[in-house]
Amino acid sequence: MLKNTAGENKREDVFSIRSIVGPLLVIIIGAFMVMLDSTAMNVMVPRLILQFDSSYNDVQWVITGYLLAEAAVIPITGWMCDRFGMKPIFLTALGVFTVASLLCALAQDLGQLVSFRVLQGLGGGMIIPIMFSYTYRLSPPNQAGKVMGIVVLPTMLAPALGPVLSGLMVDYISWHWLFVINVPIGVIALLAGILKLPVMDKQNTADLDFIGMFLAPIAFAGICYGISANAIGAVILGGMALVLFVFSQLYRKNPLLELRVFGSGSFTRGILMLWIAVFTQYGTLFLIPQVLQNAQNYSAFESGLIMLPYAIVAALSNQLGGRLFDKFGVRPVAIAGMGILTIAVYLFSRVSPDTGMLVTILLILLISSSVGLCVMPLYTHLLKVAPDHLVTRVSSLSSATQQVVVSFTIAGLASLLASRFKEHRGPGMITQVEAWSQAFSDTFIVIILMAITGILLGLTMGTTKAVNQKHESTKSDLRKLN
């Protein structure tokens, strides 16, 4: 009797997993496309500069515009799913991403490409948050972790394949095809989603913060554009909008972003260090493909292949970082990650056209090994500090601000890189490759200084025992703020 019951339970578990394979495939395809495009564009920058006869400051907006659009929609994604339902919002986001991909492929000039990339970011920014929520609600209660792991694995492979696929398209076909391939895949996913995705119950929602929705894009885009284009007026406009945005969030009952959590010193130190980690990691990830192509004369495809181990090692280091965080706490893990990054970036800043491929790859692997020791432990630390009822809002705040930091990082580093290249190139006393090499070396100094700042800030976060003792008092402080 017991044997038969166990067999029935086993068959029930198998059936539960099999019954959600269709919906999971739809979700995985959508997330895979978004994650693939997130890293593919870094390799394309040099080719787009030549294609449109433009500059780094202008072309970087193909990446920055996308990231800002993602940041704009992340905070409202949860609200929209609760109000209108998860299935229609996911399908709408997937449709927007697919149509925008087609428009990007058809773009005739840089202005069109940037505009369509912004549209693509509006769709892509919703897909990833919905992926986690949808998967969690689809999963059998006793197998949520297992199912989440199945869904996340392909999305971890996408960033590794992005640079390789992008380089292949750029060198041997055309950059347009990087966007073209999204169209049939997106259409198939849409049709499958209509048939396979279940309808989830709607949730009660508060009124949407329209003031925050209006001010946030002006603030972030204004400051980011001002930094990139050296436009003081845009920086001032963005700064004013940012001040108004902060005040509107602090005094609203249901804000777009819950900024009152900054009243906790532990949370503030944690998120500041997270921003520094994001700046250093994504800044390095943005610059490395440019170094390979401009300062070491590798082709776009070769650069993609060289970058392939970066994403693989970064994914493995995320697993290691999570285990080390559970055992030792955030302080030693994050400091170690920042320390490794500082040393690795300094060594990488010294590469030249004569540096061998093996040495270059080893340095890239050293840089990528620090990823899981910096970002994920700090992100987990913020969720651990937050009280249970604020975890979702803290997650939205962290995700949205990370996207903004990445946007500022790329805009700022691209502007600095372009100015340093222009100065080193001067009247043409040195070769273009030598000028690029020196310009990259100067730009990496900023990342090194930020990493050192992160190490110093990490020293203020306290030991594991002290941090654990403060968690309850911190949560109490955050409850009072709300």
Residues 377 and 303 in one domain: yes
Is residue 9 domain-resident? no
Is residue 11 domain-resident? no
Burial class (CB in 10 A: 0-12, 13-18, 19+), 384: middle
Please work out, in degrees rounded to the nearest 5, the angle formed at the alpha carbon of residue 194 by the alpha carbons of 192 and 200: 120
Domain holding 59: CATH number? 1.20.1250.20
User: What pLDDT digit, counting tens, does each position of 374-418 carry?
Assistant: 887 887 788 777 766 666 667 777 777 887 888 888 888 888 888
Residues 56 and 169 in one domain: yes
Q: How many domains, in total, are found in the chain?
A: 3
Helix, strand or coil for residue 199? coil
Tokens 């198939």 -> residue: 188
Pairwise CA distance, residues 113 & 110, whole Å: 5
Whether the CB-CB separation of 70 and 406 falls below 8 Å is answered with no
Domain of 237, in residue numbers: 210-251
**Residue range 5-29: mean pLDDT, rounded:** 63
Whether the predicted model's global pTM rises above the 0.85 cut: no
Predicted local distance difference test score (pLDDT) of residue 144 = 60
Q: What is the dihedral of CA 203, 209, 210, 216, to 10 degrees?
A: -120
Predicted local distance difference test score (pLDDT) of residue 309 = 87
Residues 244 and 297 in one domain: no
User: What pLDDT digit, counting tens, does each position of 96-145 carry?
Assistant: 999 999 999 999 999 999 999 999 999 988 888 788 778 777 777 666 65
pLDDT at 36 over 60: yes
User: What pLDDT digit, counting tens, does each position of 178-234 carry?
Assistant: 899 999 999 999 999 998 888 876 666 667 788 888 888 888 888 878 877 778 888
CB neighbours of residue 468 within 10 Å = 12
Whether the CB-CB separation of 311 and 305 falls below 8 Å is answered with no
Would you state the structure tokens that stand for residue 317, as one six-digit string?
């280091």
Provide the percentage of residues in the chain whose pLDDT is more than 70.
86
Is residue 3 domain-resident? no
Provide the percentage of residues in the chain whose pLDDT is more than 90.
22
Closest by alpha carbon to 274, among 100, 148, 126, 398? 398
Is residue 419 domain-resident? yes
Residues 241 and 294 in one domain: no
Residues 174 and 289 in one domain: no
Whether the CB-CB separation of 228 and 415 falls below 8 Å is answered with yes
Whether the CB-CB separation of 217 and 210 falls below 8 Å is answered with no
pLDDT at 324 over 80: yes
Pairwise CA distance, residues 340 & 182, whole Å: 37
Taking the alpha carbons at both ends of the chain, their separation in whole angstroms is 54
Residues 238 and 177 in one domain: no
Q: Give the range among 57-71, 248-262, 275-289, 384-398 with minimum mean pLDDT.
A: 384-398
> Cα separations (Å) of 392 from 16, 73, 80, 196, 352?
27, 15, 14, 27, 46
Residues 413 and 453 in one domain: yes
Choose the final residue of a domain: 165, 181, 202.
202
Residues 341 and 452 in one domain: yes
Helices (H), 329-390: 330-348, 357-369, 371-385
Helix, strand or coil for residue 285? helix
Pairwise CA distance, residues 333 & 449, whole Å: 19
Whether the CB-CB separation of 289 and 364 falls below 8 Å is answered with no
| Average pLDDT over the chain, rounded to an integer | 82
CA pseudo-torsion sign 467, 473, 476, 478: negative
Residues 264 and 166 in one domain: no
User: What pLDDT digit, counting tens, does each position of 44-61 carry?
Assistant: 888 898 889 888 788 888
The DSSP H or E segment spanning 28 is: helix 21-51
HSE-CB at 119 with a 13 A cutoff on CA atoms is 18
Residues 245 and 268 in one domain: no
Helix, strand or coil for residue 414? helix
